[in-house]
Amino acid sequence: MEFLLLNFPNLLLIFCRITAFFVVAPVFSARNVPAHFKIGFSFCVALLVFGVVPGDPVSFDGPYVLLIVRETLVGLVLGFVAYIFFTIVQVAGSFIDMQIGFSMANIIDPMTGTQSPIIGNLKFVLATLLFVTFGGHQMLIRAVMDSYEWVPLSYDWFARIADGQLTEFLVKSFATSFVLAFQMAAPIVAALFLVDIGLGILAKTAPQFNLFVIGLPLKVLLGLLMLTLLFPGFISLFFDLFETMFGHIEDVLNILAGSAAAP
């Protein structure tokens, strides 16, 4: 009991970081995952980490509040880096939906509780299934557990982020995710753009045709056909995306540890 009371503040700090990570990280942060499961699972992982993470016992005093804020921010940053790369498929789907015309019929995404494009929601569900199949959820758990090797409990967060490297890295990661989303949607968007050009030429040469009646079904059929042809390539595409995501998680840990500069 004396050991537990002495080290309980450290356990609480570990619990704050892991809980903050699972609140933001993909798959674990889904709205259809019960909140009590998230809390219980975070506590179980915190117990596992507590048994192997060294650190001097801390006490409940004034600076302890800052320690809680520090651990929460570390978990949120790690989860956010993973989340922005996981939402690339939704952004790519929104690009496709705008070209096909499906953006007029957005649906509610059960994973996030917000409006999501139809193709984007389809890709997001497929990416989630492939992520779990590849064991990505286990790698996320391993990443947050290994984060204590880079960012221990004695880590001085507020002094390390003063140089702006972390902010610059997050901005570059966001820009990279947008570029990857555009590249993922580029084949279908380019094909539908050529269809728009053809319909525009048809409107000038034969104005008697009702392009709204002809163009919308044509774009839907062509978009679904392109999507069907590209579906087998999504496996390798998503695998490369997951590798990029974990690479950025390692980069942000290196930046937080002060052992590497932002790319």
pLDDT tens, position by position, 1-28 = 566 667 788 888 889 989 999 988 888 8
Q: Is there a contact between 251 and 169 (Cβ–Cβ < 8 Å)?
A: yes
Instruction: Give the mean model confidence (pLDDT) for residues 43-49.
Output: 88
* Predicted pLDDT at 262: 38
Average pLDDT of every residue of the chain: 80
* Predicted pLDDT at 105: 59
Chain-centroid distance, C-alpha 247: 13
Is there a domain that residue 248 lies in? Answer: yes
Number of Cβ within 10 Å of residue 44's Cβ equals: 11
Which residues sit opposite 107 in a β-bridge? Answer: 116
Does position 260 have pLDDT exceeding 50, yes or no?
Answer: no
Is there a domain that residue 263 lies in? Answer: no
Is there a domain that residue 262 lies in? Answer: no
Q: How many angstroms separate the CA atoms of 157 and 252, rounded?
A: 13
Q: How far is CA 43 from CA 39, 220, 239, in A?
A: 6, 48, 30
**Tens digits of residue pLDDT in 115-152:** 667 777 788 888 888 888 888 888 888 888 888 888 88
Considering its fold, how many domains does the chain have in total?
1
Full-model pTM: 0.80
Q: Which two tokens stand for residue 83?
A: 């989340």
Is there a domain that residue 22 lies in? Answer: yes
Is there a domain that residue 10 lies in? Answer: yes
What sign does the CA torsion over 87, 129, 113, 16 have?
negative
Is there a domain that residue 252 lies in? Answer: yes
Chain-centroid distance, C-alpha 134: 16
Q: How far is CA 176 from CA 88, 97, 195, 249, in A?
A: 10, 21, 28, 14
- The residue range of the domain holding 128 is 2-257
Least confident of 193-197, 213-217, 243-247, 252-256: 213-217
**Tens digits of residue pLDDT in 73-104:** 888 988 899 888 888 888 888 888 888 877 66
Q: Given pLDDT bands bounded at 50, 70 and 90, which one contains residue 50?
A: confident
Q: Given pLDDT bands bounded at 50, 70 and 90, which one contains residue 106?
A: low
Q: How many angstroms separate the CA atoms of 243 and 251, rounded?
A: 12
Instruction: Give the mean model confidence (pLDDT) for residues 210-218.
Output: 76
Does position 261 have pLDDT exceeding 50, yes or no?
Answer: no
Say which amino acid occupies 7. N
Is there a domain that residue 71 lies in? Answer: yes
Is there a domain that residue 110 lies in? Answer: yes
Q: How many angstroms separate the CA atoms of 234 and 230, rounded?
A: 7
